[in-house]
Chains A and B, each alone.
Chain A
Amino acid sequence: MVEREIIRKTYSVCPKCLRRLTARYVRINGSVYMQKECPEHGEFCTVIWRGYMDMDDWTKNSGETADEGNPNCPNDCGLCSYHAQDTCCTLLEVTDRCNLNCRFCFADNGDSPDPTLEQIRLWLNKLAKPGKTLVQLSGGEPTVRDDLPQIVAAAKEAGCRYVQLNSNGIRLAEDEEYLEKLARAGLSFVFMQFDGTRDAIYQKLRGRRLLEIKQQAIENCAHYNIGVTLVPTLVPGVNTHNIGDILKFAIARSPMVRGVHFQPVSFLGRIPELPADYMRFTLDELLVSIEEQAGGLIKLKNIIPSRCNHPLCGFHGNFVVMPDNIVPLLHRERAGEGCCSPTTADKNRAFISRRWQRQPQGKGNPSCCCGKESDINSMEYFLRRVKTHGFTVTAMAFQDAGNIDLERLRWCSLHVFDRDRFVPFCSYYLSRWQKQWS
Chain B
Amino acid sequence: MEEKRTLTCYRCNVDLKAQKTYFEYLGHSFHADVLRCPECGEVYISEGLAKGRIAEVEMQLEDK
Complex: how many Å from CA A307 to CA B60?
17
B64/A380 in contact, CB under 8 A: no
Q: Report if A343 contacts B (CB, 8 A).
A: yes
> How far does the Cβ of B28 sit from chain A's closest Cβ, in whole Å?
7
Q: Report if A334 contacts B (CB, 8 A).
A: yes
Complex: how many Å from CA A299 to CA B59?
22
Q: Among A307, A348, A377, point to the contact of B29 (Cβ < 8 A).
A: A377
> How far does the Cβ of B33 sit from chain A's closest Cβ, in whole Å?
9
B53/A340 in contact, CB under 8 A: no
B60/A386 in contact, CB under 8 A: yes
Report chain A residues within 8 Å CB of B61. 329, 338
Report chain B residues within 8 Å CB of A334. 26-27, 63
Known: A378-B30, A378-B32. Contact between A339 and B62, CB under 8 A? yes
Known: A377-B29, A379-B23. Contact between A336 and B63, CB under 8 A? yes
B31/A329 in contact, CB under 8 A: no
B64/A379 in contact, CB under 8 A: no
B26/A338 in contact, CB under 8 A: yes
Complex: how many Å from CA A390 to CA B59?
13
Q: Report if B56 contacts A (CB, 8 A).
A: yes
In the complex, the chain A residue whose C-beta lies closest to that of B32 is A379
Q: Report if B42 contacts A (CB, 8 A).
A: no
Complex: how many Å from CA A364 to CA B54?
20
Interface size class, chain A: 20 to 34
Q: Report if A304 contacts B (CB, 8 A).
A: yes
Of A338, A339, A390, chain B has the most CB atoms within 10 Å of the CB of: A338
A383/B57 in contact, CB under 8 A: yes
Q: Among A304, A335, A343, A383, point to the contact of B56 (Cβ < 8 A).
A: A383
Question: How many residue pairs at the A-B interface have CB separations less than 8 Å?
Answer: 60
Report chain B residues within 8 Å CB of A336. 63
Q: Scoring B residues 23 to 59 as 1 if CB is less than 8 Å from chain A, else 0, what string do you get? A: 1001111111000000000000000000001101111
Known: A307-B63, A335-B63, A343-B64. Contact between A379 and B53, CB under 8 A? yes
Q: Report if A330 contacts B (CB, 8 A).
A: yes
B57/A382 in contact, CB under 8 A: yes
> How far does the Cβ of B7 sit from chain A's closest Cβ, in whole Å?
20
Q: Scoring A residues 327 to 355 as 1 if CB is less than 8 Å from chain B, else 0, what string do you get? A: 00111001111111001000110110000
Complex: how many Å from CA A228 to CA B52?
29
Report chain A residues within 8 Å CB of B58. 338-339
Complex: how many Å from CA A379 to CA B27?
14
Q: Among A335, A377, A383, point to the contact of B31 (Cβ < 8 A).
A: A377
A383/B53 in contact, CB under 8 A: yes
In the complex, the chain B residue whose C-beta lies closest to that of A318 is B63
A331/B26 in contact, CB under 8 A: yes
A377/B30 in contact, CB under 8 A: yes
Q: Report if A283 contacts B (CB, 8 A).
A: no
> How far does the Cβ of A328 sit from chain B's closest Cβ, in whole Å?
10
A380/B62 in contact, CB under 8 A: no
Report chain B residues within 8 Å CB of A329. 28, 60-61
B56/A307 in contact, CB under 8 A: no
Q: Among A343, A378, A382, A386, point to the contact of B63 (Cβ < 8 A).
A: A343
> How far does the Cβ of A288 sit from chain B's closest Cβ, in whole Å?
21
Known: A379-B57, A383-B57. Contact between A331 and B64, CB under 8 A? no
Report chain B residues within 8 Å CB of A335. 63
Complex: how many Å from CA A378 to CA B30?
5
A338/B63 in contact, CB under 8 A: yes
Complex: how many Å from CA A379 to CA B62?
15
A residues lining the B interface (CB < 8 Å): 304, 307-308, 318, 329-331, 334-340, 343, 347-348, 350-351, 377-380, 382-383, 386, 390
List 16 extra interface pairs beyond A337-B62, A340-B63, CB under 8 A. Answer: A307-B64, A330-B63, A334-B26, A334-B27, A335-B63, A338-B26, A340-B59, A340-B62, A340-B64, A343-B63, A343-B64, A377-B30, A378-B31, A379-B54, A380-B53, A390-B60
Please provide the 8 A-B residue pairs with the shortest distance between their CB atoms, ordered closest to farther: A338-B62, A379-B32, A379-B30, A351-B64, A347-B64, A343-B64, A386-B60, A340-B62
- Ordered by A's residue number, 24 sampled pairs between the chains whose C-beta atoms are within 8 Å are A307-B64, A308-B64, A318-B63, A329-B61, A334-B63, A336-B63, A337-B62, A338-B58, A338-B63, A339-B62, A340-B62, A340-B63, A340-B64, A377-B29, A377-B31, A379-B23, A379-B54, A379-B57, A380-B32, A380-B53, A382-B30, A383-B53, A383-B56, A383-B57
